[in-house]
Amino acid sequence: MKKIYKLLPLLIMAVSVISCVKYEKDIDLDLTLVKQSQLTARIRSQIGDAPNGWLLMIPNPDPSIKTAIPIILKFDTVKNTFTSRSMFPSSTVATPPVYELSSATGAPLLSFASGSTFSAIYESGFIQDFYFKIMDVTPDSITMQPYRKGEIYASEGGTVMKMYKLKSPVTWFDTQYPLLALFSASNSPFVISATNPLKLTYKDGYQAPAWNMEFSGVGAGNTSFFKANIGISRDVGLNPIALYSNSDYSNYAFYYVSGTAMVTAVIKGWSPPGPFSLEPMKFINAIKTDYLLVRSISPDYTKIELFALNRYGQEVITGTLEVEQ
């Protein structure tokens, strides 16, 4: 028994030495850093080599929502700046914001500066973070994951999304339409009419319930309040209007427009909850999208052609909003 006790410390020491040697052989920190640096350099070269830019599709965390929000990005890898175009007015800025590509976390990390459209739409809940872990890279796409799942205290690992290298220019955001005037001016056909049916067709065959939309302005005082206090107007730049659905005049939703899109947003933490969150959520759940892009408007301003895209950049919803005369 004494011999066994004497052997035990020796065996423990031997195992420790073997374990240390194996660890040193398996993990070469210098080599790991070199590989990370090489991968980061390859990604930097790739994002800069896209004359038409990249299409980032931001899916909704709710899998029942059929659409994803498109943002077109172009990277200047010399200045470490980027430009963006989207349905959000915050995408258009005089001075291009900066981005950073690093590997400090192990996986390459693509981050966008505060004050960019990413930080603006993050505050309004359209994206879960403005730091992204790069998960996969091919010649035509980059797969990314938001570092967090929304709020700053949320756990890591948001909804996975992709950037696609554009083979040709995209014109979705080239034309600015007078949507604010169409839905708030007292002489607009869409404000005068009480019957403005939204008719949508879904690629997967989904049948949305019939939805009639009536609009009105929210007044100068409320508009100023939104632009001073509510992130979707203050930071993102969308304009609020009032939406009455299906002739229900006891309830209304705050609805938002830019020059290229009609947007539904659930704004939590404000009272009364009906127009800020409850009614918008009903609308999103009914039509399975939180935005509709404008394809065209008729010359007499009584018909709007609409569409929306899925996470692959494909049109999955098309339709019209039209004044019934």
Residues 106, 150, single domain; the answer is yes
Range of the domain at 76: 33-165
Q: Which of 143, 165, 187 is the last residue of a domain?
A: 165
Is there a single domain that holds both residue 257 and residue 305? yes
Domain assignment of residue 22, yes or no: no
Percent of the chain residues past pLDDT 70, beyond the cut: 85
Domain boundary among 165, 187, 204: 165
Q: Is residue 87 part of a domain?
A: yes
Tell me, yes or no, whether 186 and 317 share the same domain. Answer: yes
Q: For residue 232, how far is the Cα from the chain centroid?
A: 13
Mean confidence (pLDDT) of the chain: 86
Inter-residue contact 70 to 309 (CB < 8 Å): yes
Q: Read off the pLDDT of residues 91-123 as tens digits, 9 standing for 90 and up.
A: 777 788 999 988 765 678 888 887 788 888 887
Q: Which residues pair with 101 in a beta bridge?
A: 110
What residues are paired with 54 via a beta bridge?
Answer: 73, 165
Q: Is 293 found in the same domain as 250?
A: yes
- Residues 41, 132, single domain; the answer is yes
Are 51 and 115 in a shared domain?
yes
186 shares a domain with 245:
yes
Q: Comparing C-alpha atoms, which of 124, 288, 141 is closest to residue 206?
A: 288
- Domain boundary residue, one of 136, 165, 194: 165
Same domain, 130 and 237: no
Residues 73 and 83 sit within 8 Å (Cβ to Cβ) = yes
In a domain, 211, yes or no: yes
pLDDT tens digits for range 37-67: 778 888 888 999 999 999 999 999 899 999 9
pLDDT tens readout for residues 267-282: 999 999 999 999 999 9
Residue 87's alpha-carbon distances to 25, 130, 173, 259, in angstroms, are: 52, 18, 7, 7
Question: Which of 50-54, 128-132, 218-222, 237-241 has the weakest average pLDDT?
Answer: 128-132
Tell whether 127 and 257 lie within a shared domain: no
Rounded Cα distance between 40 and 77, Å, is 12
Q: Check residue 59 and report its DSSP letter.
A: E
The CATH number covering residue 54 comes to 2.40.128
Considering the domain boundaries, does residue 4 fall inside one? no
Based on the fold, state whether residues 202 and 306 are members of the same structural domain: yes
Q: How far is CA 160 from CA 75, 82, 123, 290, in A?
A: 21, 21, 19, 18
Q: Are 104 and 201 members of one domain?
A: no
Say if residue 213's pLDDT is above 80: yes
Pick from 171, 200, 157: which is nearest to 308 by CA? 200
DSSP 164: E
* 228: region left, alpha or beta (phi > 0 left; psi from -120 to 50 alpha): alpha
- 19 within a domain of the structure (yes/no): no
pLDDT in tens, 141-182: 999 888 765 455 545 567 899 999 999 999 999 999 999 999
Query: Bridge-partner residues for 219, per DSSP?
Result: none
pLDDT of residue 92: 79
Within a domain: 15: no
pTM: 0.85
Question: What's the domain count of the chain?
Answer: 2
pLDDT mean over 250-265: 96
In contact, 150 and 128? CB cutoff 8 Å: yes
Is a pLDDT exceeding 50 seen at residue 5?
A: no
Per-residue buried b or exposed e for 135-173, using 16+ beta carbons within 10 Å of the residue's own CB: eebeeeebebbbbbbbeeeeeeebbebbbbbbeeeeebb
